[in-house]
Amino acid sequence: MSQDILINWSPQETRVAVVEQGAVQEVHLERTLERGLVGNIYLGKVSRVLPGMQSAFIDIGLDRAAFLHVADLMPNIAAKHATPRAPVPPPPAAPQTDTPGANGATKLLAPNPVLPIERQIFEGQALMVQVLKDPIGTKGARLTAQISIAGRLLVFLPQDNHIGVSQKIPPAQRESLRQRLVRLTATADGSPAGGFILRTNAEDASDEELVEDTAYLRKTWLRIKEAATRQPPATLLHEDLNLMQRVLRDLVGVDTQSIRIDSREQHGLLAGFAAEFMPDTVAKLQHYSGERPIFDLFNVDEDIVRALSRRVDLKSGGYLVIDQTEALTTVDVNTGGFVGARNFDDTVFRTNLEAAQAIARQLRLRNLGGIVIVDFIDMVRDDHREAVLTEFRKQLARDRVKTMTGGFSQLGLVEMTRKRTRESLAHMLSEACEACGGRGVVKTARSVCYDILREILREARAFNPREFRVVGSPKVIELFLDEERAHLAGLSDFIGKPISLQSESSMTQEQYDIVLL
C-alpha cells in the first residue's frame, strides 16, 4: 500500500503524519521541552567517588552531577583521557564456601567478581556512560557504563558478546531465532563483534532487515567511539534519535513514496543523516515549500481533533463510541441513522464491515494499546459474523504494531490486544477535566444546590456566625434565586441566620464556598 509521510517542524514541536491511500493512519508527536536524556551517551568525568555508597558522581556537562552505582559499572573500561595512575592491586579472593541448595544438595559458591568502586575508577578519570534515568527535582541523572544502542529490530551491546531474544517472544521460537541471529551477526571470521538482543517486533523480520539494522547499529557505535577519542570529558557523544530520525529508521519502507518536511534547515539535517545511515531513503526526502500548511494537504489537524472525541461517525450513518480506561479500551458500534426494519440484517452487516475498517484505523491513529473490546452490532447469520471478523483482521494486518485478535465470544464481543509502543494520542494532547476530574460528567446545578443547603445546616450546628454567604458558579446562584428560592428561605428561617449569595464566574459548576460572616 502506497504511503506518504508528512513532517511539520517548529522549534517547540515536531509532528509526523503517516498517510496511506489519502487517509491519515498514524500521528506521532515530539515536544522539545519534553524530550528526555534517557539513551544519550556521554564522555563523562569522575568528579567524586563515594566508597561508603559504592557509587560515584560523574560530570556529563549538565547543571548537576550524575549518579553512577557500582552495579552499573563495566569492569576493565579503558579511559584514554584519564591521568596515568599506578594500578591498584585487587583485593584477596574470598574463600569459596558451600551452602545447601534448594533441593538440599551442596552448592558451590564462586567468589564475588565485583570489585569495590574505588578500585575501578578514580577522580578525574574519563568514562563513557549512558543515561538510564532523567534528572528529577534536585536529583541528578542516573547513569550506566554498560552501553546499549537500540535499533528498530535489535538492541546492540557493544561491550558484550551475548546474543539474546526478547522474553516476550514465545519460548518455542526463541532458540531458532537466537541461532539465526548468531549467524547473521557473526563477523567474517565467524566470531561475534558485540552482543545483540532481538526485540519483540523483530519476531517476523526478514534476514535482510536484520542485517540492515545490524549494520546501522555497528556504524553508530564506531562513530561514538571515534568521537570519544577527540572530544574532551563532559561531552555528549551520542544523542538518542529525534522523532524525524526515528521516522526514517522505523517507518520508511518500500511502499513509502515520499517524505515531505516543511523546514529547509531540518530537511538538510535529515538528508545528511539519511545519506550516512539509510542511503536508500535520500531520494524520497522532499522539502515542502507550499503556502498552505503541510498538514492541510490531508486535513491532518481535523483528524487529530476527531481522534480526541469519543464518537466517530461512519459514512453509512452509523457511529463508533470509543472509551479509553486504565485497564482496557472499549469500542461500541451503533447503527445510528438506520430507521425501519426492512433488510435489517444487510444493514447491520454493512455497518459492521465499515466499522471494522474504521476501528483498525482509529487504533493506529489514536495509538491505543493493551486490551481492546469491540462490541459489533449483533448479527444473526454466521457467514456475516465470519466476514466481519475476516475484514477486521485484514485491516489490522496493515498495522506495524503487533496485534492479536480472537473470535466472537458468547456475548458477541471481539477481544483483541495491541502492543503498547508509546502513550496514546489522547494522553499526549489532553489532560483530565478540572471540572469533572476525568469522570466525563458533573453534578447538576440542582444537586450542587442541595449539597450547599446540607453544608449550611452542618455549619449552623457547629458555629454561630452573623451571616452565611454562599459563593458559587453563576448557574447554581441563578437556581437559588429562582426555583430553589423557597428552599433557601426556609433554611434561613430554620437556622435563624440570613443567607446571602455571590456569583463567581471563575468557579466550575461543582465548586462552591460557604463563608461565615
Q: Point out the domain boundary residue: 175, 209, 230.
A: 230
Q: Which residues does 376 contact at the CB level (< 8 Å), separation at least 6?
A: 333, 352, 355, 356, 388, 408, 412, 414
**Residue 97 domain-assigned?**
no
Residue type, 94: A
**Residue 481 domain-assigned?**
yes
Q: What is the pLDDT of residue 337?
A: 67
Nearest to 348 by CA among 337, 362, 357, 358: 337
Instruction: Provide the CATH number for the domain around residue 263.
Output: 3.30.420.60
Q: Which residues does 72 contact at the CB level (< 8 Å), separation at least 6?
A: 132, 143, 144, 145, 146
**The three three-digit cell numbers of residue 122, written as one number:** 578514580
**Residue 434 domain-assigned?**
no
Q: Point out the domain boundary residue: 281, 300, 319.
A: 300
Residue type, 401: V
**Residue 261 domain-assigned?**
yes
List, for the chain, all residue ranges whose pLDDT scores fall below the cut of 70. 75-114, 188-192, 337-342
Quick check: 325 and 331 in contact, CB under 8 A?
no
What's the pTM?
0.72
If asked whether residues 249 and 164 sit together in one domain, one would say no
**Residue 237 domain-assigned?**
no
Q: Point out the domain boundary residue: 361, 395, 429.
A: 429
If asked whether residues 54 and 158 sit together in one domain, one would say yes
Instruction: Provide the CATH number for the domain around residue 502.
Output: 3.40.1260.20
Q: Which residues does 216 contact at the CB level (< 8 Å), separation at least 6?
A: 151, 249, 277, 278
Quick check: 399 and 363 in contact, CB under 8 A?
yes
**Residue 101 domain-assigned?**
no
Quick check: 129 and 66 in contact, CB under 8 A?
yes
If asked whether residues 46 and 31 sit together in one domain, one would say no
**Residue 439 domain-assigned?**
no
Provide the 8-state DSSP code for 507: S
Report phi then psi at 21, rounded to 5. 50, 45
If asked whether residues 413 and 455 sit together in one domain, one would say no
**Residue 94 domain-assigned?**
no
If asked whether residues 463 and 327 sit together in one domain, one would say no
If asked whether residues 166 and 141 sit together in one domain, one would say yes
**The three three-digit cell numbers of residue 55, written as one number:** 557509587
If asked whether residues 64 and 142 sit together in one domain, one would say yes
If asked whether residues 395 and 271 sit together in one domain, one would say no
If asked whether residues 56 and 28 sit together in one domain, one would say no
155: domain range?
A: 41-80+113-230
If asked whether residues 395 and 472 sit together in one domain, one would say no
If asked whether residues 219 and 250 sit together in one domain, one would say no
Question: How many independent structural domains does the chain possess?
Answer: 4
Q: Is 415 exposed, middle or buried (0-12, 13-18, 19+ CB in 10 A)?
A: middle
Q: Which residues does 46 contact at the CB level (< 8 Å), separation at least 6?
A: 56, 57, 58, 59, 121, 122, 123, 124, 125, 126, 127
If asked whether residues 295 and 331 sit together in one domain, one would say no
Nearest to 355 by CA among 387, 388, 329, 378: 388
Q: Which residues does 475 contact at the CB level (< 8 Å), separation at least 6?
A: 445, 509
Q: Which residues does 339 contact at the CB level (< 8 Å), separation at least 6?
A: none
